[in-house]
Amino acid sequence: MKKEKKLEKVTPKNLPGFKELLPSKQIVFENIVNSMKHVYEKYGFFPLDTPILEHSEILLAKAGGETEKQIYRFTKGKTDMTMRFDLTVPVAKYVAMNYNSLAFPFKRYQIGKVYRGERAQRGRYREFYQADIDVIGNGSLNYVYDAEITSIIYEIFKGLGLFDFTIRINNRKILSGFFSILSLSDKCDDIMRIIDKISKIGLEKTKNELAILGLSISQIESILEFVCFDGTIEEKLNSTNAYLNMDKEFDIGINELKQVLYYIDAFGVPCKNYTVDFSIARGLDYYTGTIYETTVNTYPEIGSVCSGGRYDNLAECYCDRKLPGVGISIGITRLFDVLESMENSIFEKDFPVDVLIIPMNVELFRKAIDISRLIQAGGINTQVYFETVKLGKGLKYANKLKAPFVVIIGEDELLQDKIRLKRLSDGYQTTVNSNEAIKIINNNP
């Protein structure tokens, strides 16, 4: 065909901070997403999908200065638009918009891309996946849902082949109540922001920052003693007894936390996978009750890979109704990097086909199609290698695909109505009919 013009080549490249995976890694990524979906659905969560672009006034209704600097915002015609930077603001909008059509408690999950124009650096992405779940109540929401969320976090991580992780639980009311007891209510937000960094900056720097904020030495010591108390969950709870009946919010927070812990036990989350941690504060977020962080114990340096908490009023920017919610967000793109560097078992299923079918010449293509359809009917993913080349090249292609098996379609075997099945891991070969082949392929560990 004639060409309209000679094309100039453009060097193919991606925007910095925008991750793209090679095929075998992409398969693992899909497996991770499917494994998460499976858990969310088991607990009866609805899937949700919201636009990536929204009116800027919607997305930025609650955002502060930090968010505004990092967003992708532009106008087209007269419309001021922003790419979503999380999945919490969109669900708040969605619930306010569709209030009359939803059943409450509304349980939804959403797995999708979000955009933040941060300085691109290792482990920081500008486009990345978040997997969020939230339970949203109408007027009120029992604290047993906060325990259920913990159970879901546990199942998610277990499903990904992670076992050595800790879900850290706290309650914001305990912290703000405690600061009130120390007559520091006016500095509450700043203190939360500082203690939130303890594990990153260490005790000495934390002390310095609290001193700069104007806290007395005894206030600083009380705070650090409280938030850094080490021990079992029971011991930690006991350590709070000294402050009971001094501040209403503090007492409510302790009660909420105790309720959550009571039900976490009922959900069967093993003790070794959760704890109470009074030092987590989620400083920049808007939580008003339970807060969660989850750390992979062999990778403490990467911080929390699953965080969340409870809002008294999720959709307060969009409507007057009281819609309390509790939820978590998992940064899957970063979690993927962690799992990859751990050589996690989920990286073992990274091939698209179970068997590559290689016809030995073009006359055997139709026969290869027949065999392929028979094997597919056994629930097996197949590819036929429709190339007129030597067997060696077909085997090389199978190796590149990481296909566990090849089926070779040759004239000799066909005369006996058989095919040659070869396992690539150990070179084992056998001449069988297609039903026998299906059995062998399906029984391969």
Q: Closest Cα to residue 327, out of 40, 102, 114? A: 40
Determine, following the binding rule CB under 8 A, whether residue 366 of this chain makes contact with a second copy: yes
How many residues in the shown chain lie near a second copy by CB under 8 A? Answer: 105
Window 157-186: residues binding a second copy (CB under 8 A): 172-173, 176, 185
Could you tell me if 274 and 165 are in contact, meaning their C-beta atoms sit under 8 angstroms apart?
no
Q: Closest Cα to residue 224, out of 245, 210, 243? A: 210
282, two tokens: 């989620």
Determine, following the binding rule CB under 8 A, whether residue 352 of this chain makes contact with a second copy: yes
CB of 84 to a second copy, least distance (A): 11
Determine, following the binding rule CB under 8 A, whether residue 113 of this chain makes contact with a second copy: yes
Determine, following the binding rule CB under 8 A, whether residue 18 of this chain makes contact with a second copy: yes
Rg (CA), the chain: 28
Window 243-302: residues binding a second copy (CB under 8 A): 249, 263, 266-268, 288
CB of 344 to a second copy, least distance (A): 19
Could you tell me if 188 and 210 are in contact, meaning their C-beta atoms sit under 8 angstroms apart?
no
Determine, following the binding rule CB under 8 A, whether residue 42 of this chain makes contact with a second copy: yes
CB of 224 to a second copy, least distance (A): 22
What per-residue string of b and e applies to 8-36 under the rule 16 or more CB within 10 Å gives b?
A: eeeeeeeeebebeeeeeeebbbebbeebb
CB of 217 to a second copy, least distance (A): 26
Window 44-83: residues binding a second copy (CB under 8 A): 44-55, 57-58, 61-62, 72, 74, 76, 79, 81, 83
Determine, following the binding rule CB under 8 A, whether residue 343 of this chain makes contact with a second copy: no
Residue closer to a second copy (CB basis): 386 or 428: 386
CB of 103 to a second copy, least distance (A): 3
Determine, following the binding rule CB under 8 A, whether residue 427 of this chain makes contact with a second copy: no
Residue closer to a second copy (CB basis): 275 or 376: 376
Residue closer to a second copy (CB basis): 182 or 296: 182
Determine, following the binding rule CB under 8 A, whether residue 348 of this chain makes contact with a second copy: no
